[in-house]
Amino acid sequence: MDLMQYYLWIVVFHIMAMMSWMAMLFYQPRLYVYHTEHKNKPDFVEVVKIQEYKMYKYIGLPAMWATVISGLLMIYLRPEMLNLNDPWLFAKLFFAGLLVAYSFSMEYFRKRLEKGIYPKSGNFFRAYNEVPTVLSILIVGYVVVKTFSLLFTFITLLFGAFIIYKVLRQKPKDES
């Protein structure tokens, strides 16, 4: 079977999987904000725990693996994309790797919160919620323009750091 004839369908699947994965990455930290800031409301926390579990296990984790596997399949089918003279794909893969690590950190925090361990504040999770945005801007930028730009990378990271700094500097919400 010649998989190359399905290449564009694999690309479509990759994009759809990535969109589902990003939905979890954008929403999961928000659930952690609610969980942390309402830790003294047991009924509320129990509902949030269910949402955290289902969001990660049923949407985020399968979508992450679908994204990774379909991405690797695309590289397998078009190995010429791994051109050392045009390193955009390497940059994309590097930041996608950081996104995978970030995704696993969501499970780490979920398990801690599930046990009633509150390792971070609501403000931390608000700031941490900006990480996938910054990484996705970089990844999509490289894919669309198919070039690596140190200036684009630097400005995006600087902008992300500024946003995270501003969020962390906010007065903490009333944690109950």
List residues forming the annotated binding site: 14, 92
For the record, the structure tokens of 34 come out as: 């609610």
Residues that constitute the known binding site for heme:
14, 92
Choose among 33, 145, 21, 173: nearest CA to 86: 145
CA 156 → CA 22, 62, 64, 102, 147, distances in Å? 18, 28, 23, 18, 15
146: left (phi over 0), alpha (psi -120 to 50) or beta: left
Which H helix or E strand runs over 115? Answer: none
Angle subtended by helix axes 88-114 and 131-145, to nearest 10: 160
